[in-house]
Amino acid sequence: MQAWDYAIVGAGAAGCILAARLSEEASARVLLLEAGEKSRSPMLSMPCGDTFFIGNPRYDWSFATEPDPTLNNRRLMIPRGRVLGGSNAINGTIFVRGQRDDFDGWARSGAAGWSWDEVLPYFRKLEDWQGGASGTRGAGGPIRVELPRQREILCDTFIEAASQLGYRTNPDYNSGDLEGFGYYQCTHRGGRRVSVVDGYLEGARRSNLTTVTSAIVTGLRLDGRRCVGLNYIRDGRAHEVSVTREVILAAGVVCSPQLLELSGIGNPAVLERAGIRVRHALPSVGENFQDHFAARLRWRVRQPVTFNERTRGLSLLREIARYVFDRRGVLSMPIAVGFGFVRSSPSEPVPDLQFHFAPASYGASSQRRLDDRPGMTVGVYPLRPESRGSIHVRSPNPTMPPAIQPRFLSEESDLRRLIAGMRIARQLVSAAAFEPYRGEETRPGPELTSDEELRAHARAQGDTSFHPIGTCRMGSDANAVVDPRLRVHGLDGLRVIDASVMPSMVSGNTQAAAMMIAEKGAAMIREDAVSPQREAFPGTNGAAA
């Protein structure tokens, strides 16, 4: 049996950061396990790579939801990275921290230590912002953050249209105040994608860090109330791992709760239904699922200024040459170029809607195959949805995907905000700035105007934005899965450190917050190794249930 000080499950945004930071302690033996493979595809370095990798089973687990009764019983794809680097290796590269009130809200809800002022140092630590260091921005960190290397005429038009409607331009939405419009900041360096593999793992080539890919973790090993190791399968062979300090789950919003439940940690009713022996009762494992559910409005464009026509035929060959020799052009860009953060109504205290502007139009968002004719897309979603779903195992078989029950539009407030956002999107495209370019609206279509028609369209055509969070919720109450130091309630030697611990959604794309959680989580682990502190498991006086 192999013995390690730390074993990290999952080499995505959080896992790679944890591995790099924990292995900085020279005496600590660190094992990083990843179920996917290491890929050397040159396309992984291209910012546009998500259009090729999402939906590709070699790189994407391609999870699917159960039929969702709030979406006319539709099933949606939940892409998750199946490669070293996880979802961070195949995402859209957009870098959004969220707004101050998101994190202050976490602290108010019982996640002590996670207010904006307390997480800001870790955001600053991880980034290398092209604008340099300031009171809110970091420079010299492992993750380079840049604006796209070129401007797009349609995105400039989108920003000008917002200005014509009275919205402001925001040059740096990652300062804590995100309201306004502009160009997205991205995890790019000179036109190439920067992933956590590049920024963290490649720089942590140390003798005390071992990375194993194609490793399917099948369960955690418990000795009473302490996690002492795990089991995994690789190439058909079973392996046992002994851990002297901590096992850390960084397997993501789908697989972290799945692994807890496979190990007998979770809601007894769920476990018994799946045929799994209860080892530690923790009723909220797999609950609190949240995601950004979007409506994507599309228009034809009357001039050849979109990504659609530049990625076909001879034009594509020119774009390839431009990228190879200059790292510019369509292939150096994210598909969503422009942002907007606004309030759905003047009564909202902070922005509650996010817009993504793409100088392109495409089919199902899980595939993003561009249309033949010029087009553009304005996507919109409520920033902090109130709808909640769940993810739970179906059986003791670790290779069987869990049941994902999202219930995306179960709360009326989310529908109300989504409809308000669709109307604002139409106002933006109807502004004078778009007059030279605006063609027909192809989705939802100009004939759909009433609230009921837009509501029906959202249920029939809306889709996820690939930002799932919350299934191992952090908090101090008895219904939380981990405490504010990310330790699983009622167990020793086990933490969850990834986007699944977020109590509520951040205002924007989630990769930046997931990286921050890993930086802060690694610091907590090292602090606790020197001076361990443990609060009693809520409601049980510290005893395992």
Catalytic residues: 467
By DSSP bridging, strand 127-129 and strand 403-405 are unpaired
Fill in the DSSP letter of residue 443: E
Q: Return d(Cα 24, Cα 208) in angstroms, integer.
A: 9
Q: What is the DSSP string of 27-76?
A: T--EEEE-SSB----GGGGSGGGHHHHTT-TTTB--EEPPPBGGGTTB--
Give the CA distances from residue 472 to residues 376, 389, 481, in Å, rounded to whole numbers and listed in that order: 37, 12, 5
| Run of H or E including 262 | helix 252-262
The whole-angstrom separation of Cα 394 and Cα 400 is 7
Q: With the C-alpha atoms ordered 342, 345, 349, 354, is the resulting torsion angle positive or negative?
A: negative
**CA–CA separation, 145 and 129 (whole Å):** 5
Q: Among 102, 61, 98, 94, which Cα is nearest to 78's?
A: 61
Question: 3-state DSSP: the chain helix, strand, coil percent, rounded to 5?
Answer: 30, 25, 45
Q: Coil, strand or helix: which one is 439?
A: strand
Task: Residue 509: count other Cβ atoms within 10 Å of its Cβ.
Answer: 25
> What does the alpha-carbon distance between residue 430 and residue 243 come to, in Å, rounded to a whole number?
60
| Helix-then-strand count for the chain, H and E | 13, 25
Contact 502, 521 (CB under 8 A): no
Per-position DSSP letters for 282-309, written without gaps between them: -TTTTEEEB--EEEEEEEEESSS-SHHH
User: What is the number of residues in the chain?
Assistant: 545
417: nearest Cα among 504, 338, 349, 348: 348
CA-based nearest residue to 384, from 355, 413, 361: 413
Q: Which helix (H) or strand (E) holds 342?
A: strand 338-342
The letter for the amino acid at 426 is R
Do the bridges between strand 265-266 and strand 375-382 make them parallel or antiparallel, or are there none, so unpaired? unpaired
